[in-house]
Structure 1
Amino acid sequence: MTEQKSNDPLHGVTLEEMLLKLVNYYGWEDLGSRIRINCFNNDPSINSSLKFLRKTPWARKKVERLYLRYLKNRETE
């Protein structure tokens, strides 16, 4: 059988993986200034952010877009 590779860069990437990479790369403070949501600015944690992002589609979309920009920037480095 032949495996097909998805063209979607988010395919197979969990929200937790995205968030961990973004926090490692930008840090909470910079992440909070790029995406203005309280869970990144007030006592931030991975768990509280994941809970909020899973319940809030518009915020998750913003994280996904920033993650895609992060991937694109990493390719050009």
Structure 2
Amino acid sequence: MPDSQPNNPLHGVTLATIVEELEAHYGWDGLAERIDINCFKSDPSLKSSLKFLRRTPWARSKVEALYIATFSKPNPWGER
């Protein structure tokens, strides 16, 4: 069975990479504005954010959705 997941935009992207790229793009303040969770508002760090997001599925889902919305490239043929 092939390991390819062409329809999964997060395939092969670690949670650490997601948080690092979002923080580089928006900054901690920008992340806190978009996703209202304390790990982005109160003394934010990569380590504390990863610890929280790994234990909290609803927050991780929001971060992954923001990553996809921010960095996914539109399909030139209009397909999903």
Shorter chain as denominator, the TM-score bin is 0.7 to 0.9
Aligned-residue identity in percent? 54
Aligned to 1:31: 31
Task: Using structure 1 for the length normalisation, give the TM-score.
Answer: 0.87
Give the alignment's Cα RMSD to 1 decimal. Answer: 1.3
Unaligned runs of 5+ in 1: none
TM-fit CA distance, 1:71: 1.3
Size of the alignment, in residue pairs? 72
Aligned to 1:61: 61
Give 1:3-42 correspondences, 5 Å limit.
5-6=4-5, 7-42=7-42
Unaligned runs of 5+ in 2: 75-80
Which protein has the bigger helix share? 1
Task: Using structure 2 for the length normalisation, give the TM-score.
Answer: 0.83
